[in-house]
Structure 1
Amino acid sequence: MSSWDKLLKRFLELDHDIRFEEIVKVMKEYGYEIKQPKGGSSHYSFVKPGCSRIVIPRHKPIKKVYVKMIKKVIEEEMKEDESRTQLLHESVVSYGNC
């Protein structure tokens, strides 16, 4: 199992030892841009066109509610990847039948 797969598994299992840096890694991989807080706030925003803004405070430990938010993002991205793979497979199969 790759380190990426292990990281995703930790989120999906709602691991209580998730670090903020791991959240940043996952969100950037899925195309989110991180917006740093201004004025001394500890709340970081993650934005992606077509998706709701996600705001997460940089605290230790990361509270479970925020890990659940990232879990939902991962699950949605996995569904999208699965749909794209299925469409690609269907188009290859239909192309091969010409």
Structure 2
Amino acid sequence: MSSWDKLLKRFLELDHDIRFEEIVKVMKEYGYEIKQPKGGSSHYSFVKPGCSRIVIPRHKPIKKVYVKMIKTVIEEEMKEDESRTQLLHESVVSYGNC
């Protein structure tokens, strides 16, 4: 199992020991941009066109509610990936049957 798969598994299992840097890695991989806080705040924003803004405070430990938010993002992205893969497969199969 790759390190990426292990990281995703930790989120999906709602591991209580998730680090903020791991959240940043996952969110960037799925196309979110990180916006650093201004004025001394500890709340970071993750934004992606067409998606709701996600705000997560950089505290140790990361609270489970925020890990659940990232889990939801991962699950939605996985569904989209499956849909894209299925569409690609269907188009390849239909092209091959001409």
Q: Same fold (TM over 0.5)?
A: yes
Per-residue CA shift, 1:30-70, capped at 9, x if unaligned?
00000000000000000000000000000000000000000
Specify the SS of the correspondent of 1:56: strand
What number of residue pairs does the alignment pair up? Answer: 98
Mapped partners of 1:35, 1:84: distance in 2: 28
Q: Which residue of 2 aligns with 1:94?
A: 94
Q: Any gaps of 5 or more consecutive residues in structure 1? A: none
Q: Any gaps of 5 or more consecutive residues in structure 2? A: none
Identity %: 99
RMSD value, Cα: 0.2
Mapped partners of 2:91, 2:39: distance in 1: 51
Mapped partners of 2:87, 2:73: distance in 1: 21
TM-score, normalization by structure 1: 1.00
Stretches of 4+ aligned residues off by more than 3 angstroms = none
Specify the SS of the correspondent of 2:46: strand
